[in-house]
Structure 1
Amino acid sequence: MSEESSTPPVKKAPGLLRSTALVGIMTMMSRVLGLARDVLFARYIGAGPDASAFFLAFKIPNFLRRLFAEGAFAQAFVPVLSEYRTSGSVDAVRGLIDRIAGCLGLSLIAITVVAVVAAPAFTAVWGVGLLVKGETAMFWLASDLLRITFPYLLLISLTGFAGAILNSYDRFAIPAITPVFLNVCLIVAAVFVSPLMDEPVVGLAWGVLAAGVVQFVFQLPFLAHLGLLPRPKVDWKDPAVKKVLTLMAPAMFGVSVSQINLMLDTMLATFLQSESIAWLYYSDRLTELPLGVFGIAIATVVLPTLSRQFSKNTHEGYGTTLDWALRMVMLIAVPAAIALIVLAKPVLFTLFQYGKTSVNDVNMAALSLCAYSLGLTAFMLIKVLASAYFSRQDTRTPVRIGIIAMGANMVLNLLFVVPLHFIYQIGHMGLAMATACSAFLNAGLLYRGLRRAGVYQPGSGWLRFFVQLVGGSICMFAALMAAAYYVPSFEFLAWLDRCIYMALYVAIGLFAYVLGLAITGLRPGHLRHHSSE
């Protein structure tokens, strides 16, 4: 059978709850390893200038990866691919994939070459505060590290392209487990490579590059199994390529406003204490845990479904799917935000206060963690609400909303950071507070836009759901506060005692939350998605 005439294996699509659970479990594995990785970072490189230089060099390609790989590109490409699957032939789908692969690959190669050659210029944009403060050693170290880490963007963006294809064919597990290899490579680099280097952070930079290679190669056999392994062709005039680019340009901004705000936080943090970048990194990593495991998982699963429902004009199913996704997000985000605020110091002490990371570093990171956690619900809602726009191939509306949100973030940065930095020396907390507030504005405007366009009308049962959510959250909050009264300060506990008490906190909070939901009437059957395509 020739490759042109063969068709990808047909596989019955699993339910959204099952798919979300699968993606969530795989992502949880990655995040747990990510926490282990960050524990090693805290032990081996701490939160000093060298650590901040590495985090800066890692943030730059990582930020662009979120725009290209899991942000704008996926949101623009998946709806077009779903449209081709619905109305076109298998050969047309293969042609689309080949041409997108060629154009995307060529663009990424060009960007990577420019960035490696002009690394100091890229570093100056993100780390302008280092030059203003005269911290030239940290600046040049970050530039050297960026030359090693930046090609990760090329590799991980191609990995995201492959993952988008697999997700469109309901093979969610492979893209979800792929990030595990980043953490594995960085753990190996931290333990075995960094000690051999004059500058330990250089070993971590090589670990980032190795992870990009491993992640990309890992997904290729699964594309081959589908018969969709790309044969790159560069054709900028192809209508499908033009359509993806047209959708992608505004989507780069619309889907990644929260990431742009985090980038601005990093830039502004370079004007504050030199440890601020590391403090923000450790606190952001903890908010990324529920965001990545649940928020991105739900958005990843519903985007192909919403795109197919829109292509088939299944309006009722479209609304039901979006309704389900929003409830699932809130069911996870609200208690997660409360738990992170209540347990900010205990969890930071348990994970990071070892080796070169001081008690002051934990206390400072706890402030920004509480501030970021206030916006966790909004961060997660944005992922789902933005998917509703992109599934309809509307990328312009999120851009307009994103501009408003980013402008508000900059104003709030001035209002929060200036007094907090000059009076209390905690300006990094102001950066996190501004990001959280602007995220709520972004989510609110996205929701209002869907309502005004008649795309989404909330289904029945929302009032009952809110009562259940509030009831469960109050039970969890009360239980955690009661437990905190009897638990000693984590600062003076040994590692094993910290882990035991932290596990106790988690068990008590989870039990109280589930009990509160059950008492108020929420049952497992209410979590299932009942819409057909």
Structure 2
Amino acid sequence: MSRHGRDIARNAAVVAGATLVSRVLGFVRDMIMAFALGAGIFADAFFVAFRIPNLLRRLFGEGSLTMAFIPVYSRLREEEGEEVAQAMARSAMIWLAVILCGITLAAELLAGPLTLAIAPGFTRNAELFDVTVDLVRICFPYVVFICGVALCMGVLNAEGRFLAPAMAPSVLNVVMIGSALFGYWTGLNVAYSMAYGVLIGGFGQWLSQQSALRAIGFSWRGPWSWRNKGVARMGLLMLPTVFGAAVYQLNILLGTLLASFLPVGSVSYLYYADRLVQFPLGVFGLAISTAALPSLARLAARGEMDEYDSAMSLSLGLTLFIALPSAAGLIALAAPMISLLFERGAFTIEAVTATSRALIAYSVGLPFIALARPLVAGFYALEDTRTPVRIAVLCLAANIGLGLLLMRPLAHVGLALAVSLSSMLNFVLLHVYLSRKRKASLVPLVASVKTLLLSLGVGVGAYFSASWGLWWLALLPVWAAAYLFMALVLDMDEARLFVDMVRSRARRGLKRKKG
């Protein structure tokens, strides 16, 4: 097991631990939203309005800027020193602020046509459309703050600091929880109250990064230039990555567009199901790819390609080791999970059934979505941003075709299944092309077979426990422990890496308590 693999595991543990806190807060937020908003007009309007700035967050934030920024920043620091790299970061922030402020101004003026483009089916309900336009205008400036957070994350991750960026979403969740409760208790419209909470939370996220930047000696005051060569290089890399991020987000937006033609509530069913799938993806899948990119970028910059291949293989193996049993558990326990988390207030048993079916369809694609992330990071570390984009375009077309084909017989479940099937295609193509580029097989085959068999065992056990009342919840740690124990018995490197992740996180927690 290479030193770089252990470094990735330790850094992933930091990201995973912080993200776990954020995701738990996110579920609390969603439970409050489900109670206060249900799955009706105001819920659909808020989810669409919030999704629009989130689109630009992924276009100009971690979906493209961070991925293009880290390899350039790492190379500049290796070749020309820390001061040159920091000047490049300042210059990038100036450009980002100018571009995003211009986009925000345009969105405020064109909120109506923008809403029409995102959810044309809403025009059938005048109240729903008008509310969505109002919420878009309130939420949209969030993109300025959150993309600034993404650039801060790039600087900190490149410097080996992962905690503060991973904790930033917790700030947003806390503010949104507070704004939802404030709206509910005071009798205000909860959707409008939460929209203002989004804006306040975005500013809070940006502020939360500044002390971590100061701790590494970074300051926004210092040399910068409109013509910084690092920013120019990053911009060239970002052109295809922005397009690639746009393709990925179009998958989500097209799902929203198609769902807007289905019965009221379909958008919300897909949203709540996606939130559950995003839990393991965010806590572990995204954590591993986030931790892997700086290490892979440094290895590529130094020309240590054998170490690069080893680190990539370990990243993929660890991702699969976590994603497969997560998918099995979500499929087996979809209905009781949705019921426990959301069945209260305006969220009815019919909504539970509809959402759990969408969750099963999404969960089929969870391992492939998770595996694609370190593969994309591997391409970006090599400063190849075009290949993932070409593959993403092909998969977008597949998603559209499958969505149109499956939504008629399966309604919103067909849209979720289309996402999973196109995600499978995305993974296969990414792996084939990166393996050819490196002339090496990157996914560990033997470990993958072992992981699949153990995950099937977890799924079967969880499925039978679903009929035992709340015992299914109590037995979750048992299934997890049995899975890890059997993996260690089978002498899987991925299991030892996972144990290293947990131990690393536990040691950090103890050090903070003693301090």
Q: Same fold (TM over 0.5)?
A: yes
Per the alignment, residue 401 of structure 1 pairs with: 391
> Is the Cα–Cα contact under 8 Å of residues 247 and 396 in structure 2 kept in the other structure?
yes
Q: What is the rounded CA distance, in whole Å, between the counterparts of 1:266 and 1:210 in structure 2?
A: 26
2:478 matched to 1:508? yes
Q: Mind listing any 5+ residue stretches in structure 1 that lack a counterpart?
A: 1-11, 421-426, 489-499
Partner AA of 2:19 in structure 1: T
Shift of 1:246: 1.1
Per the alignment, residue 326 of structure 1 pairs with: 316
Per the alignment, residue 269 of structure 1 pairs with: 259
Q: What is the rounded CA distance, in whole Å, between the counterparts of 1:116 and 1:404 in structure 2?
A: 33
Per the alignment, residue 475 of structure 1 pairs with: 457
- Percent of aligned pairs with the same amino acid: 34
Partner AA of 2:198 in structure 1: V
Per the alignment, residue 206 of structure 2 pairs with: 216
Q: What is the rounded CA distance, in whole Å, between the counterparts of 1:398 and 1:456 in structure 2?
A: 18
2:434 matched to 1:464? no
> Is the Cα–Cα contact under 8 Å of residues 51 and 278 in structure 1 kept in the other structure?
yes
Query: Secondary structure of the equivalent of 1:347?
Result: helix
Per the alignment, residue 7 of structure 1 pairs with: none
> Is the Cα–Cα contact under 8 Å of residues 324 and 455 in structure 2 kept in the other structure?
yes
Q: What is the rounded CA distance, in whole Å, between the counterparts of 1:115 and 1:155 in structure 2?
A: 15
Q: How does 1:45-84 map to 2 (within 5 A)?
A: 45-84=37-76
2:180 matched to 1:157? no
Shift of 1:121: 1.7
Partner AA of 2:496 in structure 1: G
Q: What is the rounded CA distance, in whole Å, between the counterparts of 1:321 and 1:455 in structure 2?
A: 15
C-alpha deviations, 1:174-220, integer Å up to 9, x for none? 10111101110011011123443542210010111110011001111
Shift of 1:122: 1.4
> Is the Cα–Cα contact under 8 Å of residues 103 and 234 in structure 1 kept in the other structure?
no
Shift of 1:120: 1.1
Q: How does 1:432-511 map to 2 (within 5 A)?
A: 432-454=416-438, 456-458=440-442, 462-485=444-467, 487-488=468-469, 500-511=470-481
1:363 aligned to which of 340, 353, 374? 353
Q: What is the rounded CA distance, in whole Å, between the counterparts of 2:248 and 2:334 in structure 1?
A: 21
Q: What is the rounded CA distance, in whole Å, between the counterparts of 1:329 and 1:256 in structure 2?
A: 24
Per the alignment, residue 341 of structure 1 pairs with: 331
2:115 aligned to which of 101, 123, 128? 123
Query: Secondary structure of the equivalent of 1:70?
Result: coil
> Is the Cα–Cα contact under 8 Å of residues 72 and 256 in structure 1 kept in the other structure?
no
Shift of 1:98: 1.5
Q: What is the rounded CA distance, in whole Å, between the counterparts of 1:64 and 1:333 in structure 2?
A: 27
Q: What is the rounded CA distance, in whole Å, between the counterparts of 2:222 and 2:344 in structure 1?
A: 47
Partner AA of 2:175 in structure 1: C
Q: Measured at CA, do residues 373 and 525 of structure 1 come closer, stay the same or move farther in structure 2, by a change above 3 Å? A: closer
C-alpha deviations, 1:345-388, integer Å up to 9, x for none? 00000000111101101110111111110110111111111001
Shift of 1:528: 8.1
Greater shift in the superposed pair: 35-44 or 84-93:
84-93
Shift of 1:463: 4.0
Q: What is the rounded CA distance, in whole Å, between the counterparts of 2:265 and 2:497 in structure 1?
A: 46
2:225 matched to 1:240? no
Partner AA of 2:490 in structure 1: T
Q: Which has the larger share of helix?
A: 2
Greater shift in the superposed pair: 197-206 or 141-150:
197-206
C-alpha deviations, 1:246-295, integer Å up to 9, x for none? 11121123356443311110111111112111111100000000111111
C-alpha deviations, 1:14-66, integer Å up to 9, x for none? 82211111110100000000001100011111111111101111111112212
Q: What is the rounded CA distance, in whole Å, between the counterparts of 2:202 and 2:498 in structure 1?
A: 36
Per the alignment, residue 408 of structure 2 pairs with: 418
Q: What is the rounded CA distance, in whole Å, between the counterparts of 1:16 and 1:393 in structure 2?
A: 20
Q: Measured at CA, do residues 507 and 103 of structure 1 come closer, stay the same or move farther in structure 2, by a change above 3 Å? A: same
Give TM-score scaled by structure 1 length.
0.89
Shift of 1:514: 2.3
Q: Measured at CA, do residues 118 and 234 of structure 1 come closer, stay the same or move farther in structure 2, by a change above 3 Å? A: farther
Shift of 1:517: 2.1
Q: What is the rounded CA distance, in whole Å, between the counterparts of 1:103 and 1:358 in structure 2?
A: 47
Per the alignment, residue 101 of structure 1 pairs with: 93
Shift of 1:13: 12
Query: Secondary structure of the equivalent of 2:466?
Result: helix
Q: Measured at CA, do residues 447 and 39 of structure 1 come closer, stay the same or move farther in structure 2, by a change above 3 Å? A: same
> Is the Cα–Cα contact under 8 Å of residues 320 and 448 in structure 2 kept in the other structure?
no
Q: How does 1:109-258 map to 2 (within 5 A)?
A: 109-131=101-123, 134-196=124-186, 198-231=188-221, 235-255=225-245, 257-258=247-248
> Is the Cα–Cα contact under 8 Å of residues 258 and 379 in structure 1 kept in the other structure?
no
2:295 matched to 1:311? no
Q: What is the rounded CA distance, in whole Å, between the counterparts of 2:223 and 2:441 in structure 1?
A: 42
Shift of 1:454: 2.3
Q: What is the rounded CA distance, in whole Å, between the counterparts of 1:13 and 1:373 in structure 2?
A: 27
C-alpha deviations, 1:444-481, integer Å up to 9, x for none? 1111111122264338xx34313421332132123213
Q: Measured at CA, do residues 463 and 13 of structure 1 come closer, stay the same or move farther in structure 2, by a change above 3 Å? A: closer
> Is the Cα–Cα contact under 8 Å of residues 273 and 362 in structure 2 kept in the other structure?
yes
> Is the Cα–Cα contact under 8 Å of residues 155 and 216 in structure 1 kept in the other structure?
yes
Q: Measured at CA, do residues 256 and 291 of structure 1 come closer, stay the same or move farther in structure 2, by a change above 3 Å? A: farther
Q: What is the rounded CA distance, in whole Å, between the counterparts of 1:106 and 1:234 in structure 2?
A: 14
Q: Measured at CA, do residues 136 and 236 of structure 1 come closer, stay the same or move farther in structure 2, by a change above 3 Å? A: farther
Query: Secondary structure of the equivalent of 1:15?
Result: helix
Per the alignment, residue 289 of structure 1 pairs with: 279
Count, aligned residues:
496
Shift of 1:419: 2.6
Q: Mind listing any 5+ residue stretches in structure 2 that lack a counterpart?
A: 501-515
Per the alignment, residue 508 of structure 2 pairs with: none
Shift of 1:429: 0.7
> Is the Cα–Cα contact under 8 Å of residues 417 and 430 in structure 1 kept in the other structure?
yes
1:39 aligned to which of 25, 31, 47? 31
Q: What is the rounded CA distance, in whole Å, between the counterparts of 2:146 and 2:249 in structure 1?
A: 17
Q: What is the rounded CA distance, in whole Å, between the counterparts of 1:447 and 1:469 in structure 2?
A: 18
Partner AA of 1:506 in structure 2: L
